[in-house]
Amino acid sequence: MRYRYLGRTGMEVSVHCLGTMMFGAVGNPDHDDCVRIVHAALDRGINFVDTADMYSAGESEEIVGKALKGRRDDVVLATKVHFPMGEGRNRGGNGRRWITSAVEDSLRRLGTDWIDLYQVHRPDHATDVEETLSVLTDLVRQGKIRAFGCSTFPAEEIADAYHVAERRGLHRFRTEQPPYSILARGVEANVLPACRRYGMGVLTWGPLASGFLTGRYRKGQDIDLNTGRAALTPGRFDPSLPVNAAKLDVVEQLVEVAAGIGSSLPELAVAFAAAHPAVTSVIIGPRTMEQLEALLKGAALTLDDDTLDRIDAIVPPGTNVYHPDGAWTPPALAETAQRRRPLPDRPAA
């Protein structure tokens, strides 16, 4: 296992980060099996574990807490806050009221006194970023978190947060967690350069592009839209849709690239994300022990220039074959009213 410094936090983390989104009701409900997966990852040299309060409504954090008993000091532990937890108002977002409450819930579920990296899961335009940075700075000073970061923030908001922190004398985002894969290279244009400019660590999610880079979905083969992830979101997998057909075309070319260097497609995909100089660690999110073993099989794989050039020719740098599933869409694009002027009033009769 290789290790890199997480930006300028002084923390050294494994190039592979164990993501735990699939632990709990939405993935693997067997707590004991999930604990075994965590222990296997740690035994293989992974020292970086990422979760979030909203994964299976807190269940993932509880599982991670069980798994880290007796091994907490050896692990850099990351979790996230933002998405609503439970019913009612003011139970989500990036404001002081919610973050102050949510961090206590995460500490309790994780069974720990501190969180190494506390991340804001998505931007929140209802909350001033100064408000968010202020409460996170207080949590660092209280010793409840060691550092904090953001996830799926556009470059302009990363820059804005940096300058607000500088002007107000607040701690700043130390990391960013963007979606990044061979099929979704958009962050190469602005987000990753911004992270390098501000000395931020980067832990990327989605290296397998929602399963398309596992080799499970191939052109010309039937894709069962009634099972697995396809059953939950068939639109992401329906091969009759042009965006999915484009993914499948790329996959066929990447299979040849992987075969040419004697690796599997998933190994190629993870190694690609780790090859970018801005990337500290690549999150892998296994649901089973078999998936963990398959992903770690290529942990030592590094891609030479010839291989990276072949990938660039298939998917040009800075471009997306598709919009990463689950990525944040700015209100300026998501809300029709922010893109259209209201119609003028009719003249009086």
Give catalytic residue positions.
55
Chain centre distance of CA 127 = 22
List, in sequence order, every residue forming a beta bridge with 204; answer none if it has no partner: 282
Distance between CA 298 and CA 293 in Å, rounded? 9
Alpha-carbon Rg for the chain in angstroms: 21
DSSP 42-73: HHTT--EEE--TTGGGGHHHHHHHHHTTTTGG
Q: What is the DSSP string of 279-338?
A: --EEEE--SSHHHHHHHHTTTT----HHHHHHHHHHS-TT-BSSPPTT----HHHH-GGG
Measured in residues, the chain has a length of 349
The DSSP-derived string for 237-266 is T-TTSHHHHHHHHHHHHHHHHHHHTT--HH
Distance, in Å, from the CA atom of 27 to the CA atom of 33, rounded to the nearest integer, reads: 12
Compute the distance between CA of residue 60 and CA of residue 223 in angstroms, rounded to an integer: 29
Q: Which element (helix H / strand E) includes 109?
A: helix 96-110
User: What burial class does residue 50 get, using C-beta atoms within 10 Å of its C-beta: 0-12 exposed, 13-18 middle, 19+ buried?
Assistant: buried
Q: CA 126 to CA 130: how far, in whole Å?
A: 12
Q: How far apart are the first and last CA of the chain?
A: 77
Please give the helix or strand (H or E) that residue 193 lies within, else none: helix 191-197
| Residue burial 65-82, b: 16+ Cβ < 10 Å; e: rest | bbbbeeebeebbbbbbbb
